Structure 1
Amino acid sequence: MIRLDSISKQNGHQILFIEASAALFKGEKVGLVGPNGAGKSTLFRMIAGEDVPDEGQVSTDRGITIGYFDQNVGEMAGRSAVAEVMDGAGPVSEVAAELAELEGALADPDRADEMEALIERFGEVQGRFEELGGYALEGRAREVLSGLSFSPAMMDGDVGALSGGWKMRVALARILLMRPDVMLLDEPSNHLDLESLIWLEDFLKGYDGALMMTSHDREFMNRIVTKIVEIDAGTLTTYGGDYGFYEDQRALAEKQMQAQYERQQAMLAKEIKFIERFKARASHASQVQSRVKKLEKIERVEPPRRRQTIEFDFPPAPRSGDEVVTLRSVAKAYGDRVIYDGLDLRIARRERWCVMGVNGAGKSTLLRLVTGSAAPDSGKVTLGGSVKLGYFAQHAMELLDAELSVFETLDNTFPQAGQGSLRALAGAFGFSGDDVEKPVRVLSGGEKARLVMALMLYDPPNFLVLDEPTNHLDMATKQMLIRALASYEGTMLFVSHDRHFLAALSNRVLELTPEGVRHYGGGYTEYVASTGQEAPGLRS
């Protein structure tokens, strides 16, 4: 369906592709992987026709439709989420807009004198809407939005009132409703809660078109894709299988390349040693010349290119008392909406609680109550002795000084630390080379999140409260964070929609349900085995 033939592309001084080739065939589900800045979004734009290669060709079969979702959703305002989603479905959306306009006009007493003409036009437009399958389309639009966790009120409300994350869900819903021949999804798993993520997973499994996607969610990628295309140093390499298979194959190929390189280096050293030893002896002249010519003809094996991943040994957290935090008879409401009424919870040292619950269940509210960012309406929240609290939340990014660079931010916070240690810390969170000189004001949301996480873990607290800590982290940084927290000896309370993160780090589960709070011994893996579901909102 889509072929990339010997494409080359350069952005400024950065070379993204050098005579790279790959193909996407009908019905395939492909994961596009590569380090940040490798050119994944550029490749999507070239396939979508929004960019062109400097050399080579991107060809698509005649008549196929392509739906492209990226993180730049643009302005949305002035109509409902349902109307915005249906707008991506072609002519029917224009008819739907006129139908809505006519419904408003028919209810307007100031236009009573036009009633006969309005009714006649309404009948014509309604007929056309039915002919185009409009009512079925609206039902499907609502079904998709419901799958992405929209309430009926949010579906019918002005899309302009939604946050950026919810607008992204609307943009994603447009592509899903469209059901094009080819879907290009750039990080569709960002901004989704666990229930929406699992719904999207099932939707994409049942989609019969061709799919190419990027995602920093390992489980999500593994369950959908059957082929991986890797961008690395300007080339495109295709691997059959899911992300786990790709990782294994890449590691095996690197090992084989390293062994081949070392064998050749040993052979070259042996030959060079012989030449050096006998080059002055006339009796060995012919042998020396033969070996010199042999070395000149040998095609040199290059060592495998290794992705730069910087590990950082985080210092141990100081020990807290055995009782870390206690909530007694806590009540919390926002207006008429009761979040908690009589909540009791005790968190002990070295417990790692993950908090589960559908949107609006009160996950972030619980974290704010525990950290003192919000006060209970009644009841008491008590931190234990020697507790040093660290709280990661999205608003923490707003507290960074916009005029300081990444390195200045670290250096100002830890003036006694050595430059080498701080640069290693920055590197572990994805700031390598000149990136440490970037001012905070130009950082993306993901980069700011990584900087806040680095600030918190360099001098670690003994009680970590984390609200969606893996948002925007790439797989390598996420894996580094999981390894660091796996050896962390403090206490954790966290919310995450990343199943790999949940399974790797939790040893207790707190589930928030309309019927009340449920406690589960064991971590997320045991919770799934016990309930038969990966998220509370999926349970029948």
Structure 2
Amino acid sequence: MIRLDNIGKQNGHQIVFIEAGATLNRGEKVGLVGPNGAGKTTLFRMIIGEEQPDEGTVAVDRGVTIGYFSQDVGEMSGHSAVAEVMNGAGPVSEVGAELKALEAAMQDPERADEMDEIIERYGEVQARFESLDGYALEGRAREVLAGLSFTQEMMDGDVGALSGGWKMRVALARVLLMRPDAMLLDEPSNHLDLESLIWLEEFLKGYEGVLLMTSHDREFMNRVVRKVVEIDGGALTTYTGDLEFYEQQRALNERQQQAQFDRQQAMLAKEMRFIERFKARASHAAQVQSRVKQIDKIERVEPPKRRQTVTFEFAPAPRSGEDVVSLKSVRKGYGSRRIYDGLDFQVRRRERWCVMGINGAGKSTLLKLVAGAAEPDAGSVSVGGSVKMGYFAQHAMDLLKGERTVFQTLEDSFPQASQGSLRSLAGCFGFSGDDVEKRCRVLSGGEKARLVMALMLYDPPNFLVLDEPTNHLDMATKEMLITALAQYEGAMLFVSHDRRFLAALSNRVLELTPDGIHAYGGGYTEYVERTGQEAPGLRV
């Protein structure tokens, strides 16, 4: 369906692709992977024709429809969410718009003399609309939006009133409803809660076209894709298998390439020793010249490219008391809506609670109450002795000073720290080289999240309250964070939609449901085994 043949592409001084090639066939579910800046978005834009390769060809079979979801959703307002989704459904939405225009024309007395032509055309368009299953379009649009956690009120409300994250879901729903022959999805898992993520996972498994997607969610990617295309060093390399297979195969290939490189280097060193030893002897001149020629003809084995990996180690956190935080008879509501009524909950030292619940269940509200960012309407929230709390929430990114650079922000917070330690800290969280001189106002969402996380963890608290800490983080940074937090000895209370993060770090689960609040001993993995669900109300 889609073929890339000997692609060459350069952006400014950066070479993105060199004689790169890949083929995407109908029914294949393909994960696109590679380091940040490798060219994943450029590849998407070339497939849809927004950019052209400098060399080679991008061929899409005639008649193939392509739906492209990107993080740049554009302006949305003036329509309901369901109308906005239906408007992007491809030919069926265009036919539906013509059908409505013809219905209006039939009711216009000034067009009475055209009525025969209008009625004839209406019959043709109506037949086309029916063949495209147009009358079921609104129902399907609502089904997709419901899968992405929209309420009926949100579906029918003005899409312009939605937050950026919910507008992203509307844009994603447009592509899913379209059901094109090929779907290109650039980070579709961003901004989704766990329930929506699991719904999307099942939707994509049942999709019959070709799927090409990127995602920072390892579990999501591993469950959906069955083929991986890697961008690295300007080349495209295809692996047949899921993400886990790709990582294993890539590691095996690197070990084999390193072994070949080492053997060749040992052989070359041996030959060079012979040449150096005998080059001045006339009796060995022919042998020396022969070996020099042989060495010149050898095709050199390159060492494997080393992916930059970063690690972050916590300084020891001060020990807290056994009782970290205690909520007693807490009541909390917004307007007429009651979220908590008589909530009792306690976090003790070294407990790691993940909080589960559908949208609106009160996950973020609980974290705000614990962190002191919200006050209970009744009851008490008491923090234990010697507790030093670190609170990460999305709004924390808005508190960064726009004109300060990344490095200045770190210096402002830790004036006693050495420049070397702060640069090391910045590097752990993805700020290397000139990145530390970026002003905060130009940072992306992911960069801001990484900076806030670095500020919080450098001088570690003994109680971490984390609201969606993995939003915007790439796989490498997530892995670094998981590895670091696995060694952390303080208490944790967190919300996350990343199942790997949940499974790796929790040892308690607090489930918020309409039937009440349930606490589970054991972490997320035990919760799934015990309840048969990966999120409240969703069966495995």
Question: What TM-score do you get using the length of structure 2 for normalisation?
Answer: 0.94
SS at match of 2:35: coil
Amino acid corresponding to residue 290 of structure 2 in structure 1 = S
Amino acid corresponding to residue 171 of structure 1 in structure 2 = A
- 1:143 is matched with 143
Alpha-carbon displacement from aligned partner over 1:159-208 (angstroms, at most 9, x marks no partner):
11111110110110011111000000000000000000000000000001
Aligned equivalents of 1:210 and 1:15: distance in 2? 28
Alignment of 1:38-437 (within 5 A): 38-94=38-94, 133-437=133-437
> How far off is 1:313 after superposition?
2.1
Aligned equivalents of 1:440 and 1:76: distance in 2? 27
Aligned equivalents of 2:349 and 2:104: distance in 1? 60
Contact between 2:141 and 2:177, CA under 8 Å: does it hold in 1? yes
- 1:482 is matched with 482
Aligned equivalents of 2:372 and 2:154: distance in 1? 30
Contact between 1:83 and 1:93, CA under 8 Å: does it hold in 2? no
**Structure 2 segments unaligned to the other structure (5+ residues):** none
SS at match of 1:354: strand
Sort the Cα spacing of 1:461 and 1:60 in 2 relative to 1 into closer, same or farther, 3 A: same
SS at match of 2:62: coil
Alpha-carbon displacement from aligned partner over 1:280-326 (angstroms, at most 9, x marks no partner):
22333232222222222222211110111222222121111111000
Alpha-carbon displacement from aligned partner over 1:112-170 (angstroms, at most 9, x marks no partner):
999x99xx999x69967667533311111111000000011111111111111101101
Alpha-carbon displacement from aligned partner over 1:85-121 (angstroms, at most 9, x marks no partner):
111123543565688899999xxxxx9999x99xx99
Deviates more, 1:275-284 or 1:422-431: 275-284
Sort the Cα spacing of 1:4 and 1:98 in 2 relative to 1 into closer, same or farther, 3 A: closer
Alpha-carbon displacement from aligned partner over 1:12-71 (angstroms, at most 9, x marks no partner):
111111111111011100000001111001100100111111111000111110000000
> How far off is 1:448 after superposition?
0.4
Contact between 2:369 and 2:381, CA under 8 Å: does it hold in 1? yes
SS at match of 1:534: strand
Contact between 1:145 and 1:170, CA under 8 Å: does it hold in 2? yes
> How far off is 1:277 after superposition?
1.9
**Structure 1 segments unaligned to the other structure (5+ residues):** 106-110
Identity %: 77
2:505 is aligned with 1:505: yes
SS at match of 1:452: helix
Contact between 1:332 and 1:340, CA under 8 Å: does it hold in 2? yes
Aligned equivalents of 1:271 and 1:219: distance in 2? 49
> How far off is 1:354 after superposition?
0.2
Sort the Cα spacing of 1:353 and 1:179 in 2 relative to 1 into closer, same or farther, 3 A: same
> How far off is 1:407 after superposition?
1.2
Contact between 2:312 and 2:481, CA under 8 Å: does it hold in 1? no
Contact between 1:83 and 1:97, CA under 8 Å: does it hold in 2? no
Alpha-carbon displacement from aligned partner over 1:475-506 (angstroms, at most 9, x marks no partner):
11100000000000111000000000000000
- 1:445 is matched with 445
- 2:537 is matched with 537
Sort the Cα spacing of 1:19 and 1:132 in 2 relative to 1 into closer, same or farther, 3 A: closer
Aligned equivalents of 2:62 and 2:96: distance in 1? 29
SS at match of 2:239: strand
Contact between 2:99 and 2:126, CA under 8 Å: does it hold in 1? no
Aligned equivalents of 2:232 and 2:336: distance in 1? 54
Deviates more, 1:329-338 or 1:280-289: 280-289
Aligned equivalents of 2:33 and 2:211: distance in 1? 14
Amino acid corresponding to residue 473 of structure 2 in structure 1 = L
Amino acid corresponding to residue 298 of structure 1 in structure 2 = I
Query: How many equivalent pairs are there?
Result: 534
- 2:22 is matched with 22
